[in-house]
A and B are shown apart, each in its own frame.
Chain A
């Protein structure tokens, strides 16, 4: 398991979203939840961009450190 901020380009499953309840709920409302299969299409430095189906979401580096993927 690795924080999203250190993930390379590739496919992952989201294992856990830390960083407070607000953040997890916000991600869910945007379509991303624990257990989802996602792709990382842009890595650090700078914001990470993940893809799920047709959704593209950019996550700031600080936040990406609280999302764990496998």
Chain B
């Protein structure tokens, strides 16, 4: 135990080993959810106090090894080495103990304080595994705490072990000590020591032999580089195969031997057909798989919107009410006009416009967490993979994209389910092209006037065009930004299990809170800015002629002439669409004196051709401020700005091209 009364603890382990359950057991509701800086990987941090010691716990991403192949692995190993946790808790799945040991031995090579939480002991017992804990503890020289985390068993022993671990001067854990390549590894260690500051030299030398790009980039001396290459070639000649596979295989052999020594299998595990296998026969069935998936997809969509929308409507009404009442109250105490408007149309409307998304987002997270925890999400990704692969995307991208037809805000947050940064970001970038339900009123208004006889077909054509653009741009972005990051589809299918209600709820709650805090700030600021543009200058009617937003609208209007709608009302309406797309229709109706007049007024400004061109603009141009806010939250400011820029440029070009080319034929 360290002298200070504050422990920094990292939790690491294979995916599906029960890391989150252990984390939740330790921290209760004392959790904060966020992102690791600069990436889209989720980060969870929590606290617990035990025996007078305060413990800070970081939940690291689930990983299989500490190589540099994925962002999750890099995050985990960088945290262990640079952030210097006092203790690392490795959550190990006792059912797959042998495989879990691969990561364990790599972590031990980092020469840190480690204890193992040997989880899922009940499942291991039920399949006849007898694990000699003491023997394993002796050989690895670390404390092992058996647990059944999803029933809370072992948590006290774990907490005790955490505050009682002994800070030892670590014996280097070395599985190559007596191996024939030992000297070669030592040779590399000697060469690289001046360049590797934070990592133990053995760990670094092994990674360099594995062509680890992060470590290789630290060796700046070209001569040292050459020497390393020479040692590599020399040893590869000696062993007759590539060194990195040799290292992996040696490790594999070591853990196999260790497993055989400490575990007795009283049942032949390899022959087992589990309940999960039987369920999979149906759920990933060649014929039934996709229909079943589409059913779950439909269920998700319906729940998020059919249940979420009414609640959102209630919140909307409440805030409208609050706004009115506060306006009356402030007027009654003699507040100046601008304060009343600021509160009513600015602040209260601003906060309301953030909270109104909470129900949809919360329900989405509930459903997604249930699908993930139950194990079904991995199957869903597989069922959709072949299809999605054809269009260059990942199987797990399907659901977030479909959700985008409802609303891009929960849809983009749903991309958290994608493990790969590249897939996640691309799915986020193209999500706004899935025409959200807020844009639909615009299509309905216009097709109701200009395309009465084929309303359905015309609206469908817009949705379809959006999807086509999404696919095309998805491939384009992939080639442009992520060309070198190909991830082969190898995914573990965890056994099906009943998700814990508490975990699901807590996760959904924490993530929804995060939305309000982070995206909410941007949305709020955006709404206030639009309010300012509508309110100023003092004296002008709110958002009417003479207001700033009106001036801006008139100013930019001419640029839309080549697209067919260069009249200023169109620009003002589009500007209001920045806040929310639904407002565009309302803006038109305000500017033209009422919704009933639109039927005979709009044909004086639009032709059928320019009306369709305007709908193209509405389909593609940048998403509402709430969507921009979540993009910033989930992918960063850079990508959020990129979406704003590409979408407006694309919309502009498409709209103009359509109108100009269309004119040639009419």
What residues of chain A have their CB less than 8 Å away from a CB belonging to chain B?
19, 21-31, 33, 37, 39, 41-42, 45-47, 49, 51-63
Cβ contacts under 8 Å, B251 to chain A: 28
Q: Which residues of B contact A27 (CB under 8 A)?
A: 490
> B493–A49 contact, CB under 8 A?
yes
Most B CB atoms within 10 A — which of A30, A39, A62, A63?
A: A30
Q: Are A62 and B488 in contact (CB under 8 A)?
A: yes
Chain B residues within 8 Å of A39, by CB: 270
Confirm or deny: B302 has a beta carbon within 8 angstroms of a beta carbon on chain A: no
- Determine whether B434 belongs to the interface, using a CB cutoff of 8 Å to chain A: no
Question: In this assembly, does B168 line the interface, its C-beta being within 8 Å of a C-beta of chain A?
Answer: no
B65 lies within 8 A of chain A by Cβ: yes
* Known interface pairs A21-B242, A25-B245, A58-B493; A47-B382 also in contact (CB < 8 Å): yes
A selection of 25 A-B contacts at a CB cut-off of 8 Å is A19-B488, A21-B211, A22-B69, A23-B488, A24-B245, A25-B245, A26-B69, A26-B490, A29-B103, A31-B98, A33-B252, A39-B270, A41-B277, A46-B289, A46-B383, A49-B284, A53-B269, A54-B269, A54-B274, A56-B280, A56-B495, A58-B378, A58-B490, A58-B491, A58-B492
Per the bound structure, the CA–CA distance linking A29 and B65 in Å amounts to 6
- Is B276 at the interface (CB under 8 A from chain A)? yes
Q: Tell me if B325 counts as interface (CB < 8 A to partner A).
A: no
B96 within 8 A of A: yes
B389 touches A60 (CB 8 A): yes
Closest residue to A38 on the B side, CB-wise? B270
Tell me the number of A-to-B contacts counted with CB atoms below 8 Å.
117
CA distance A54 to B274 in the complex (A): 9
Could you tell me the distance in whole angstroms from the C-beta of A42 to the nearest C-beta in chain B?
Answer: 6
Known: A25-B248, A54-B269, A63-B488. 12 other contacts (CB 8 A): A21-B244, A21-B245, A28-B248, A28-B249, A29-B102, A30-B64, A46-B286, A46-B386, A54-B127, A58-B489, A59-B489, A61-B386
B197 within 8 A of A: no
Closest 6 CB pairs of A and B: A60-B489, A31-B99, A29-B65, A29-B64, A56-B493, A28-B248
Please encode chain B, from 279 to 290, with 1 for each CB lying within 8 Å of some chain A CB and 0 for all others.
010001010010
CA distance A66 to B127 in the complex (A): 32
Interface class of chain B by DSSP: helix
Residues of A within 8 A of B280 (CB): 41-42, 49, 56
Smallest CB–CB gap between B574 and chain A, Å? Answer: 43
Contact partner, A30, options B244, B490, B494, Cβ 8 Å:
B490
| Cβ–Cβ contact A60 & B492, under 8 A | no
A54 to B98, CA, bound (A): 11
Report the minimal beta-carbon distance from B282 to chain A, rounded to whole angstroms. 12
Shortest B142–chain A CB gap in Å is 20
Which of B374-408 touch A at CB < 8 Å? 378, 382-383, 385-386, 389
Q: Evaluate contact between B210 and A56: CB separation under 8 angstroms.
A: no
CA distance A22 to B493 in the complex (A): 20
Q: B residues within 8 A CB of A52?
A: 270
One digit per residue, 1 when the CB lies within 8 angstroms of any chain A CB and 0 when it does not, for chain B 476-518 equals 0000000000001111111100000000000000000000000
Contact B386 A45, beta carbon cutoff 8 Å: yes
Given A23-B488, A46-B286, decide whether A33 and B493 contact each other with a Cβ distance below 8 A. no
Query: Do residues B242 and A47 form an inter-chain contact, with CB atoms below 8 A?
Result: no
Q: How far is the CB of A53 from chain B (nearest CB, A)?
A: 5
Set of chain A residues within 8 Å of B211, measured between Cβ atoms: 21
Per the bound structure, the CA–CA distance linking A19 and B488 in Å amounts to 10
B270 touches A37 (CB 8 A): yes
Q: Are A54 and B210 in contact (CB under 8 A)?
A: no
